[in-house]
Amino acid sequence: ATAIHRADYQAPAYWIATVELCFDLDPAKTRVLNRMQLRRNPDVPAQALRLDGEELNLARVLVNGQGTSFRMDTTERGQQLVLENLPEGDEPFTLEIFTTCCPAKNTKLMGLFVSQDTFFTQCEAEGFRRITYFLDRPDVMALYTVTLRADRDKYPVLLSNGNLVEEGTLDDGRHFAKWVDPFKKPAYLFALVAGKLVAREQRIRSRAGNDHLLQIFVRRGDLDKTEHAMLSLMHSIAWDEARFGLTLDLERFMIVATSDFNMGAMENKGLNIFNTKYVLASQATATDSDFSGVESVVGHEYFHNWTGDRVTCRDWFQLSLKEGLTVFRDQEFSMDLCAEASARAVKRIEDVRVLRTVQFPEDAGPMAHPVRPDAYIEISNFYTVTIYEKGAEVVRMMQTLVGRDGFAKGMTLYFERHDGQAVTCDDFAQAIADANPQSHLAALLPQFKRWYAQAGTPRVHAAGHYDAENRSYTLTLSQSCPPTPDQPVKEPFVIPVALGLVAANGAALPLQYTVDSGETNASEALFTMTQAGHTLVFHGLDAEPVPSLLRGFSAPVILDIEYSDAQLLTLLAHDSDPFNRWEAAQRLALRHALNAVSAEGDVPAQVLDGAFVEAMRAILREPALDAAFKELVLTLPSEGYIAEQLAVVDPQRIHAVREAMRLQLAVALQPDWAAAWEASEHNGSYSPDPLSAGRRALAGLALVNLNLAAAPTGDTVWPGRTYQRFKDADNMTDRANALSALVGAGHELAKPALERFHALFTDEALVIDKWFQMQASAPDRGGDILPLVKQLMKHPDFSIQNPNRARSLVFAYCNGNPAGFHRADGAGYAFWVEQVLAMDAINPQVAARLARALDRWKKLAAPYQALAREAISRVAASTSLSNDVREVITRALA
């Protein structure tokens, strides 16, 4: 298919004022009557009405109650119902369309589908056209009335957006429910659910004094796992009111969970549909990170009620308008829920780690695109970490430039201007700037917006020179950005650099500096780069300082700076900025890893030097530090992150080096790991709060290290204790950590532990996902993981049709196990080809995500590169590829 370009945007030729939908729900043949009030858009030239449709059977079309002529256009993008002979002029007219579809056969999980005998919809981005013919674009917003009719025994619960206005009994054991949504919305926010579900209910009164009913619908056996989601929803509502003055605008707010879902969750107005993974959590079945995932995603979808639903996107190129902003909001929400500053810092580090390990590679690979893309073939391929996570960083930089209060004012202005509209990223940035006319953002807005337009991760190069005679320190900062597909040359970005100077003894030094030959005097801890290069001269310094730059990761850039080991050790020990403290450890570890990767010969047993090991010991022993922070500092950079620093990547060598580093730290710090584990043993009753979760995370890391250290000596004490912990644990975090310590160390107790784990949780799908995932992502030993994965594909619990299960096994192997996947015999890639093709026939969206596992193949060393190219070409040679997979593969080969 050919690409759609942002520059070609045109307003719709017709507006739809109201939509009345009537569904007769039947898995094999659902009938849909769609009655719309339309009128021509007087602002565009008169033309035919073209309605999108996909996999629909058309029965009848009426205009103002009369039969009419129509034709069907089939393009490379699907079908359109074309109506030429519509009433002339601006008067509204009625269009009725009768169609049928087959939800039971809908394996794409877009449009109306059936999961475990329950009907669900997924309409973002272009799923509504699989339900009825429609102007399926986000700038067409209408008022919806929806009637659902279905068998009462099989589908006792009938839900749609808005308020329930009528329900009753029909003939033949059927019943109906009628829902009216008081807000106009684009089709992508439409939803219905019908099935046998039960709800946890909560009535609340908002600060503004309004009463609301909150409901979380799940299958009967899951009700006891919904408390955390409900609490998260209540916290989200309170937070949005307190921080941004945004109140819940609905009498009823519903969440429904399904175990078959392409993504995490969907913000349909008043009727959010969630992957069970982000709703269900109990002490016995969910880890701390599952609990925090539920909190973030419940928050994220709730925050969309304003940033996405009340103000939506004009077109899909503006996707980050709602997604970047809403990720920023959910990140801030989770941070604001942290009682301690240290926990906020941990959350920031975790968010940055995702950005750098997933988004930076995307921005450097064949799928690189701006936060506001210029072209796409298949929009679902653009629900990316760039749109979401980098988009959130762009919003965060705006907040940094205007301040927290200024940003809140900007949000208020944004809603004053655009409530009920479909708008662009420009409209958002303009509102934030206009509300803060004196800010850097307002002064630099056109340049700042390059963050939306230019792809690629900018690099900031920093170099310092101390002049003892003048007691001054000169810091030069320069920026560049590598070429990306279709963008060979980049203009300078606006880059907020939060900075400080640290003395060798750790003291914070005063900031008095001049900028660019003394034009500007400054003392601010935030310097904003606007040009290719800047020179900052700091005065009044008695000794050479250590610069602490990009504090809190104040911009999504790569900072190149040649610190000495001693400087990094100073920052690690003393920086008042926790992010840069953690970053110093990462830089040191990375330095050792890269040296060992690029050295000739076998990987040495001692990759780390004594100073680094002792610094890690000091962190582990430091009583003033939180366990969660220690766990982050003591976790080595991932194999993927190490690979990103290299021009030529040998995944096996990286794996061997990192494993050697892990073993070295495990052995050298053995007594300290033991002390850390023992300190965690009597933790009291379970709570998923960040401090307690941090203690469990550190205990888990300790257990991993104690088992690693035990392996070479054949010591059985720690594996035995680990097995005991696995059996006795009163929560899933401790149990899963113990299990993965045994699996990761390849200990013989791993086998009985895995069997026991499976037997304990046979009926818990989300736990069985963990069981698959843990095995698929275990460290590869002599190529043992691929055969195991192939064997697990035949397990009765495996189903490639279920996205969660596919992610837990196939994705966990191809994306989460570099050494297992990048095999010198190419068998990992051959497996990937098979799975991409098999998946594409079932669910192209999920297949296209899997297709991205080889995005970075051009960086691979021999023999991997040639084998990967051949594998990608084999996928490309398939004649029946979806547009989704074809776009990813074509870009990879370009």
Which residues are part of the catalytic machinery? 301
3-class state of residue 337 by DSSP: helix
CB of 683 closer than 8 Å to CB of 614: no
Using the contact rule CB under 6 A, the part of the chain among 284-292, 300-308, 639-647, 851-859 near ligand HT7 is 300-308
Residue 290 binding: pick among ligand HT7, Zn ion, none (C-beta 5-8 Å cut-off by kind) = none
What does the DSSP assignment read for 251-301? SEEEEEEES--SSSEE--TTEEEEEGGGT---TTT--HHHHHHHHHHHHHH
Residue 263 binding: pick among ligand HT7, Zn ion, none (C-beta 5-8 Å cut-off by kind) = ligand HT7
Residue 383 binding: pick among Zn ion, ligand HT7, none (C-beta 5-8 Å cut-off by kind) = ligand HT7
Cβ neighbors of 599 (< 8 A, separation 6 or more) are none
Residue whose C-alpha is closest to residue 137's, from 270, 6, 7, 316: 316
Which one-letter amino acid corresponds to residue 571?
L
Tell me if the bond preceding 752 is cis, omega within 30° of 0: no
Contact call for residue 80 and ligand HT7 (CB under 6 A): no
Cβ neighbors of 26 (< 8 A, separation 6 or more) are 150
Contact call for residue 301 and ligand HT7 (CB under 6 A): yes
Q: Please state the closest distance from residue 391 (CB atom) to Zn ion, in A.
A: 10
Contact call for residue 347 and ligand HT7 (CB under 6 A): no
Residue whose C-alpha is closest to residue 267's, from 278, 251, 280, 259: 278
Distance CA 411, CA 428 (A): 8
Contact call for residue 802 and ligand HT7 (CB under 6 A): no
Binding mask 109-138 for ligand HT7 (x = CB under 6 A): -------------x-xx-------------
Alpha carbon separation from 860 to 648, 657, 863 (Å, rounded): 6, 17, 8
Q: Please state the closest distance from residue 314 (CB atom) to ligand HT7, in A.
A: 16
Q: Please state the closest distance from residue 794 (CB atom) to Zn ion, in A.
A: 36
Site for ligand HT7 in 526-585 (CB under 6 A): none
Binding mask 811-850 for ligand HT7 (x = CB under 6 A): ----------------------------------x-----
Residue 311 β-bridge partners: 307
Residue nearest ligand HT7, CB atom distance: 263
Q: State which residue, 326 or 808, has the beta carbon closest to Zn ion.
A: 326
The one-character DSSP state at 796 is T
Site for ligand HT7 in 363-382 (CB under 6 A): 380
By CB under 6 A, name the one of 118, 262, 381, 580 that touches ligand HT7.
262
Distance CA 511, CA 523 (A): 5
Helix axes 690-713, 717-728, angle to 10 degrees: 140
Q: State which residue, 304 or 658, has the beta carbon closest to ligand HT7.
A: 304
Q: State which residue, 188 or 673, has the beta carbon closest to Zn ion.
A: 188
Distance CA 104, CA 730 (A): 40
User: Which residues in this chain contact Zn ion in the complex, by CB under 5 A?
Assistant: 323, 326
By CB under 6 A, name the one of 306, 316, 333, 383 that touches ligand HT7.
383
Q: State which residue, 378 or 575, has the beta carbon closest to ligand HT7.
A: 378
Residue 262 binding: pick among Zn ion, ligand HT7, none (C-beta 5-8 Å cut-off by kind) = ligand HT7
Residue 49 β-bridge partners: 83
Q: Please state the closest distance from residue 313 (CB atom) to ligand HT7, in A.
A: 10
CA dihedral 309, 121, 808, 215 (to 10 degrees): 70
Region of 803 please: left (phi>0), alpha (psi -120 to 50) or beta. Answer: alpha
3-class state of residue 327 by DSSP: helix
Q: State which residue, 253 or 493, has the beta carbon closest to Zn ion.
A: 253
Residue 136 binding: pick among Zn ion, ligand HT7, none (C-beta 5-8 Å cut-off by kind) = none
Q: According to the 3-state scheme, what is the secondary structure of 540-568?
A: CCCCCCEEEECCCCCCCCEEEECCCHHHH
Size of site (CB under 6 A) for ligand HT7: 15
CB of 619 closer than 8 Å to CB of 683: no
Q: Please state the closest distance from residue 369 (CB atom) to Zn ion, in A.
A: 17
Residue 805 binding: pick among ligand HT7, Zn ion, none (C-beta 5-8 Å cut-off by kind) = none
Distance CA 696, CA 628 (A): 8
Q: State which residue, 301 or 769, has the beta carbon closest to ligand HT7.
A: 301
Contact call for residue 147 and ligand HT7 (CB under 6 A): no
By CB under 6 A, name the one of 267, 362, 575, 769 that touches ligand HT7.
267
Q: CA 348, 583, 571, 673 torsion: positive or negative?
A: positive
CA angle 258-34-32, nearest 5°?
50
Structure-token pair, residue 294: 């539920």
Residue 581 binding: pick among Zn ion, ligand HT7, none (C-beta 5-8 Å cut-off by kind) = none
- What residue has token string 């921080």? 243
Q: State which residue, 115 or 652, has the beta carbon closest to ligand HT7.
A: 115
Contact call for residue 331 and ligand HT7 (CB under 6 A): no
Q: Please state the closest distance from residue 326 (CB atom) to ligand HT7, in A.
A: 7
Contact call for residue 266 and ligand HT7 (CB under 6 A): yes
Which one-letter amino acid corresponds to residue 568?
L
Q: Please state the closest distance from residue 95 (CB atom) to Zn ion, in A.
A: 31
Q: State which residue, 106 or 285, has the beta carbon closest to ligand HT7.
A: 106
CB of 12 closer than 8 Å to CB of 39: no
Cβ neighbors of 606 (< 8 A, separation 6 or more) are 664
Contact call for residue 265 and ligand HT7 (CB under 6 A): yes
Helix (DSSP H) and strand (DSSP E) numbers for the chain: 31, 35
By CB under 6 A, name the one of 263, 584, 786, 881 that touches ligand HT7.
263
Q: According to the 3-state scheme, what is the secondary structure of 18-49?
A: EEEEEEECCCCCEEEEEEEEEEECCCCCCCCE
3-class state of residue 639 by DSSP: helix
Q: Please state the closest distance from residue 175 (CB atom) to Zn ion, in A.
A: 33
Q: Please state the closest distance from residue 330 (CB atom) to ligand HT7, in A.
A: 9
Residue whose C-alpha is closest to residue 412's, from 496, 327, 278, 310: 310
Q: State which residue, 139 or 323, has the beta carbon closest to Zn ion.
A: 323
Q: Please state the closest distance from residue 301 (CB atom) to Zn ion, in A.
A: 7
Contact call for residue 54 and ligand HT7 (CB under 6 A): no
By CB under 6 A, name the one of 323, 330, 378, 393 that touches ligand HT7.
323
Residue 126 binding: pick among ligand HT7, Zn ion, none (C-beta 5-8 Å cut-off by kind) = none
Q: State which residue, 383 or 428, has the beta carbon closest to ligand HT7.
A: 383
Residue 106 binding: pick among Zn ion, ligand HT7, none (C-beta 5-8 Å cut-off by kind) = none
Residue whose C-alpha is closest to residue 101's, from 188, 33, 52: 33
Q: Please state the closest distance from residue 384 (CB atom) to ligand HT7, in A.
A: 11
> How many CB atoms are closer than 10 A to CB 590?
15
Tell me if the bond preceding 343 is cis, omega within 30° of 0: no
Q: State which residue, 323 or 577, has the beta carbon closest to Zn ion.
A: 323
Q: Please state the closest distance from residue 884 (CB atom) to ligand HT7, in A.
A: 10
Which one-letter amino acid corresponds to residue 871?
A
Structure-token pair, residue 358: 């997933």
Residue 122 binding: pick among ligand HT7, Zn ion, none (C-beta 5-8 Å cut-off by kind) = ligand HT7
Distance CA 829, CA 36 (A): 49
Using the contact rule CB under 6 A, the part of the chain among 83-91, 297-305, 681-689, 735-743 near ligand HT7 is 297-305
Q: State which residue, 371 or 632, has the beta carbon closest to ligand HT7.
A: 371
Q: Please state the closest distance from residue 295 (CB atom) to Zn ion, in A.
A: 15
Instruction: Name the residues that contact ligand HT7, by CB under 6 A.
Output: 122, 124-125, 262-263, 265-267, 300-301, 304, 323, 380, 383, 845
